[in-house]
Amino acid sequence: MSGFEDAVAIVTGASSGIGRASAERFAAEGASVVIADVDREGGEETVERIENDGGEAMFVDVDVSDESSVEAMVEETVDTYGGLDIAHNNAGISPSYAPTADVSVEDWQQVIDINLTGVWQCLKAELPAMVESGGGAIVNTASIGGLVASGSAPYTGSKHGVVGLTKTAAVEYGGQGVRVNAICPGVVETPMQQQASEDSTEAVDAVTGAQALNWMADPAEIANAAAWLCSDESSFVTGHPLAVDGGLVAQ
Ligand X SMILES: NC(=O)c1ccc[n+]([C@@H]2O[C@H](COP(=O)([O-])OP(=O)(O)OC[C@H]3O[C@@H](n4cnc5c(N)ncnc54)[C@H](O)[C@@H]3O)[C@@H](O)[C@H]2O)c1
Check binding of 153 to ligand X (CB under 6 A).
Answer: no
How wide is the angle at C-alpha 206 spanned by C-alphas 202 and 211, nearest 5°?
Answer: 150
- Nearer residue to ligand X within complex by CB, 131 or 220: 220
As a dihedral over the C-alpha atoms of residue 159, residue 165, residue 168, residue 172, rounded to 10 degrees, the angle is -150
CB 2 within 8 A of CB 231: yes
Among 34, 58, 123, 187, binds ligand X (CB under 6 A): 187
Q: Using the rule CB under 6 A, give the single segment among 48-56, 72-80, 89-97, 164-172 that binds ligand X.
A: 89-97
Q: Least distance in Å: CB of 120 to ligand X?
A: 13
Check binding of 241 to ligand X (CB under 6 A).
Answer: no
Catalytic, 155? Answer yes
Would you call 52 exposed, middle or buried from its count of C-beta atoms within 10 A (0-12, 13-18, 19+)? exposed
- What's the CA gap between 201 and 67, in Å, rounded? 36
Task: Number of residues interacting with ligand X: please give it, by CB under 6 A.
Answer: 31
Within 7-154, strands assigned E span 8-12, 32-37, 56-61, 86-89, 136-141
Among 82, 191, 209, 247, binds ligand X (CB under 6 A): 191
Q: Least distance in Å: CB of 12 to ligand X?
A: 6
Q: Which of residues 154-183 bind ligand X (CB under 6 A)?
A: none
Check binding of 211 to ligand X (CB under 6 A).
Answer: no
- What's the CA gap between 215 and 221, in Å, rounded? 12
DSSP 191-215: HHHHHHHHH-HHHHHHHHHHSSS-S
Q: Which of residues 7-46 bind ligand X (CB under 6 A)?
A: 12-13, 15-19, 37-39, 42
- Catalytic residue list: 155
Q: Interface residues with ligand X (CB under 6 A)?
A: 12-13, 15-19, 37-39, 42, 62-65, 90-94, 114, 118, 141, 143, 185, 187-188, 190-193
